[in-house]
Amino acid sequence: MATVAELLDQGVKAYTRGDSAEAERFWEQALELDPKNERVRAYLKQVRGELPPRPGEPPPAPEPAPRAEPVFEPSPWDAGPTSVATVVVEDGDGLDLDAVGEKSEIRSLVPDRKPSARSPAPGEVATWMEGARELFALGDFSGSLEMIERILRVDPTHAEARAYLRQNEATLVAMYESKLGPLSSVPRLAIHAEEVMWLNLDHRAGFLLAQVDGTVSFDDLFALSGLPRLDTARILASLLAEGVIR
């Protein structure tokens, strides 16, 4: 049975490919499992149109939790999830587009072939850009990144898209890394070695998992992997979340 995180993720993917009904279905399932999950609630409001999109604005604060005795002034915690983190991005801090195109198969940001003959419909890029901004504001950096990639496939020089690309990447890397805990800690296999082959991994995850031998730290794995940092962080966070490593 899918977890809340998986349902959330599937919903985001459905939403970004334009299938709002499917997205709503996934998020409803997630809400059934975790009725208090504010993120799911915010997504549902978004997809149901209860929350008109306001480009560039942070997501609305969820309603404060009911309290029996609201005697004192509300604590900042009562506001629920904080607003979107401000990410300061220096030049050159983003994904190396060429490197990703050549070496990563997670997503090819800039195809090495010429853009397809089909040009986007007029205004389509602007719509995608707006979608990327909204998803970013909602804190859905993966979704925003997918939109950005779509734009860069047809217009690799799109300045705003490239700026968002860097912001999304920096934010996602920070998110995944925070899930890993201290980067100096040494991950270990949490399952029997014989069970590894029953997992559903791709060969990059297989490579990274093969490096986990109880002697190398997460920091070392970033240096060893040969993949862009985002890809490495995402794979490791996923292996950790699935209980493959600990």
CB of 90 to other proteins, least distance (A): 10
Residue 105 is a binding residue for other proteins (CB under 8 A): yes
Residue 203 is a binding residue for other proteins (CB under 8 A): yes
Q: Are 170 and 87 in contact (CB under 8 A)?
A: yes
Helix (H, G, I), strand (E, B) or coil at 186: coil
The 8 Å CB, 24+ separation contacts for 181-185 are 181/218, 182/218, 183/217, 183/218, 183/219, 183/222, 184/217, 184/218, 184/219, 185/217, 185/218
Residue 202 is a binding residue for other proteins (CB under 8 A): yes
Q: Which of 97, 110, 216, 241 contacts other proteins by CB under 8 A?
A: 216
Residue 201 is a binding residue for other proteins (CB under 8 A): yes
Q: Which of 1, 121, 159, 210 contacts other proteins by CB under 8 A?
A: 210
- The span of 3-11, 17-25, 38-46, 207-215 binding other proteins (CB under 8 A) equals 207-215
Interface map 161-200 toward other proteins (x if CB under 8 A): -------------x---x--xxxxx----------xx-xx
CB of 82 to other proteins, least distance (A): 9
CB of 215 to other proteins, least distance (A): 5
Residue 75 is a binding residue for other proteins (CB under 8 A): yes
Task: Provide the greatest CA pair distance for the chain.
Answer: 64
**Closer to other proteins at the Cβ: 140 or 177?**
177
Helix (H, G, I), strand (E, B) or coil at 232: helix
User: What is the DSSP-derived secondary structure letter of residue 54?
Assistant: -
Q: Which of 87, 106, 175, 190 contacts other proteins by CB under 8 A?
A: 87
Q: Backbone dihedral region of 181: left (phi > 0), alpha (psi from -120 to 50 degrees) or beta?
A: left
**Closer to other proteins at the Cβ: 135 or 208?**
208
Q: Which of 42, 204, 231, 233 contacts other proteins by CB under 8 A?
A: 204
CA–CA dist 236, 162 (Å, integer): 25
CA–CA dist 103, 226 (Å, integer): 8
Please name the residue ranges forming H helices in the chain. Answer: 4-16, 20-33, 38-48, 97-103, 124-137, 141-154, 159-180, 203-211, 218-225, 229-241
**Closer to other proteins at the Cβ: 71 or 159?**
71
Residue 211 is a binding residue for other proteins (CB under 8 A): yes
Of residues 106 through 165, those in contact with other proteins by CB under 8 A are: none
Which residues have a Cβ under 8 Å from the Cβ of 121 and sit 6 or more positions away? none
Q: Provide the binding-site residues for other proteins, judged by CB under 8 A.
A: 67, 69, 71-73, 75-78, 85, 87-88, 99, 105, 174, 178, 181-185, 196-197, 199-207, 209-211, 215-216, 219-220, 222-226, 229
